[in-house]
Amino acid sequence: MRIEKFLSKFKDKKVLVAGDIILDIYAYGLVERISPEAPVPVVDLREESYRLGGAANVALNLKALGAEVALSGVIGQDFYGKKVLELLRENEIHDEGVVISTFRHTTVKTRIVSQGQQIIRIDKEKREPLIEEEKKKVLSFLQEDAVDAIIIEDYNKGFFSPDIIRVIIEGKKAPVFVDPKYKYYEHFKGAHLVKPNFKEFVRVSMLNEDEMNVMQAALRFRKNFGYKNVVITRGDQGMLAVSQEGVYEIPALKREVFDVTGAGDTVISVLTLAMISGLSIEDAALLASIAAGIEVTKVGASPVFPGELKDAVKEEWKKMKERVRFFDFT
């Protein structure tokens, strides 16, 4: 199978990403002394960079892979919200679905970095649910847009509620892919694919330590919640790709890990484009694993580009495909 053929289809797809928008700020500086006021380092700031985070980073990943992308979320009427809109427009991501709120500020994560090491992260966020006015604007947009797929990107910052999820799951003909956090699992019933990480999966599944019970728990998880497919990410242990046929154990791409920020966003982006382009869940998960292996070699949440992915596929696909294991419990 020539995976390149499927990669070339990405540019013909349009995807809607709905979820919590975050602005990531990276503040770079030097640490050369300890504060006389307290035993903490003094950072001499030299540079700041602004990046799209959360659902906006998923949108950026999809755009970098060639797709047309629309984003739905909420930002504040503030400096950081303006930065988000600037970055969306610079990257040609449709922002008509982005609601500017006067009731909440833009979610911001600031990372202080010195000599390649993150010293501290400062979060500014509001997790309360959307007010009715914001929700009406979001629902109005979600009911209009025609796309090839929808991604629900939940960072637990207040964007999602059962009624918004219901409109997405029940009101759209396009397949829905879900990157969940810690709640609403029962409301995602009918989703084409749900992608928890292993920690999130463990929270909603009863597990024993032996491997076979993990596989069986993954099958129960898919069946009990009513999802068509499930992919469980496990860091350097790869992924479990679950369908009604059984469970595929997908290996991780072995690269030196520099920063895991954004790896999950890369995975859901590649899974979505790969599956709507015709790849099986096994091959889509393998492609996503390769993409995640590229992403973690970069500083911060950074997109993976088609050229990088094609080169890695040529080098790694055959070897990794041979390491895929299938568990049939039917």
Q: What is the pLDDT of residues 165-223, one digit of tens each?
A: 999 998 878 999 999 998 999 999 999 999 999 999 988 886 765 556 888 899 999 99
pLDDT band for 263, please (50, 70, 90 cuts). Answer: confident
What's the pLDDT at 116? 83
pLDDT, tens digit (0-9, with 9 covering 90-100), for 268-281: 999 999 999 999 99
Residue ranges and CATH numbers for the domains of the chain are: 3-21+55-101+127-327 (3.40.1190.20)
Nearest-angstrom CA–CA distance, 265 and 258: 16
Q: At what angle do helices 281-295 and 263-276 cross, to 10 degrees?
A: 150
Using the structure block, give the residue that is written with the tokens 């091959």.
283
What's the pLDDT at 154? 96
Q: How far is CA 197 from the centre of its chain?
A: 11
DSSP 305: P
What's the pLDDT at 258? 61
What's the pLDDT at 4? 80
- Percent of the chain exceeding pLDDT 90 equals 75
DSSP 63: H
Q: Is 124 exposed, middle or buried (0-12, 13-18, 19+ CB in 10 A)?
A: middle
Q: How far is CA 209 from the centre of its chain?
A: 27
- Is the full-model pTM beyond 0.85? yes
What's the pLDDT at 212? 60
Nearest-angstrom CA–CA distance, 203 and 42: 39
What's the pLDDT at 46? 93
Reply yes or no on whether 148 is catalytic. Answer: no
Token reading at 172? 């759209």
What's the pLDDT at 167? 92
Question: Is 1 a residue whose pLDDT tops 60?
Answer: no
How are beta strands 246-250 and 117-124 bridged, if at all? unpaired
Token reading at 200? 């999130």
Token reading at 159? 């964007």
What's the pLDDT at 330? 65
Instruction: Give the bridge partners for 49, in sequence order.
Output: 26
**Sheet harboring 193-194: ordered strands across?**
94-101, 68-76, 14-19, 149-153, 176-179, 193-194, 229-233, 239-243, 246-250, 325-327
What's the pLDDT at 132? 94
Query: pLDDT averaged over the chain?
Result: 92
What's the pLDDT at 203? 86
Of the residues 265, 283, 311, 328, which is catalytic? 265
What's the pLDDT at 32? 87
pLDDT, tens digit (0-9, with 9 covering 90-100), for 71-92: 999 999 999 999 999 999 999 9
Nearest-angstrom CA–CA distance, 180 and 154: 5
Tell me the mean pLDDT in the region 1-8: 80
pLDDT band for 117, please (50, 70, 90 cuts). Answer: confident
pLDDT, tens digit (0-9, with 9 covering 90-100), for 291-323: 999 987 777 778 888 899 999 999 999 999 999
What's the pLDDT at 257? 61
Instruction: Give the bridge partners for 176, in sequence order.
Output: 150
Q: How far is CA 120 from the centre of its chain?
A: 22
What's the pLDDT at 260? 67
**Sheet harboring 21-34: ordered strands across?**
41-54, 21-34, 107-114, 117-124
Using the structure block, give the residue that is written with the tokens 């890695």.
312
Q: How far is CA 239 from the centre of its chain?
A: 15
